Amino acid sequence: CIFAWSFFDLELEPNFFDCAISLHTIYHMDKEKQAEAVRKLLTVTKPGQPVIIVYRNPDTLVEYFVSPLRKLKQVWQKLSGKAGEEEEVKLYAFAHPISWWDQFRNEAEIEILPWRSFFAPHQKILIPNNKLGEKMFTLLYDLEEKFPNFFVKNFQYPMIVLKKTKN
């Protein structure tokens, strides 16, 4: 297991790994350094082998419903005098649009698949924890399989699979 303060400071041998996996990490890096991180993963992975990245889609259908609710909550907190009471520390996140991944086409084959359609808190609200929820998950999975491009473009977490084409 490798531990370091910064991924960028790790000295890793080129073409060393058979596979690289990054789950929910790249979009928590500075938006200006994300491409560098992806290129480093490509560099240290053997040609033809996968670099698998679970990323976040900034343009989801759910956000169209959640964003106004978030604004209403903020207005309610201001009006009720509760604004600022709960100063929560937020983890930095910046997700580029799905088209951002096109910049790696000269270095890798790119496949983008749906990984998970909903942010966990939204999922808990929308899908009950019972038999009906099981059926809803089965239907959701079947729809993701049948319409992957629609789910990649409109839902929460795409899985990007890059296979390095150059050495």
Q: Residue 86: its pLDDT value, please?
A: 58
Residue 151 has pLDDT above 80, yes or no: yes
Report which of residues 9 and 55 the model is more confident about: 55
C-alpha separations of 58 from 62, 79, 158 in Å: 10, 29, 11
Give the β-pairing of 108-116 and 20-23.
Answer: unpaired
Superfamily of domain 7-164 in the CATH hierarchy: Vaccinia Virus protein VP39 (3.40.50.150)
**C-alpha span between 43 and 46 (Å, rounded):** 8
Give the β-pairing of 157-164 and 108-116.
Answer: antiparallel
Report which of residues 148 and 88 the model is more confident about: 148
Total Cβ atoms within 10 A of residue 157 = 21
Among the listed ranges 4-8, 21-25, 99-103, 110-114, which one has the minimum average pLDDT value? 4-8
Three-state DSSP class for residue 29:
coil
**C-alpha span between 73 and 166 (Å, rounded):** 50
User: Is-contact 56 156, C-beta < 8 A?
Assistant: yes
**C-alpha span between 89 and 134 (Å, rounded):** 34
The pTM of this model reads 0.80
Locus of tokens 């709960």: 86
Of the chain, the end-to-end C-alpha distance in Å amounts to 25
Domains of the chain by residue range: 7-164
Confidence of residue 92 (pLDDT cuts 50, 70, 90): very high
Report which of residues 124 and 31 the model is more confident about: 31
Residue 135 has pLDDT above 60, yes or no: yes
Among the listed ranges 53-57, 98-102, 114-118, 146-150, which one has the minimum average pLDDT value? 114-118
> What are 16-65's pLDDT values in tens digits?
999 999 999 999 999 999 999 999 999 999 999 999 999 999 988 877 77
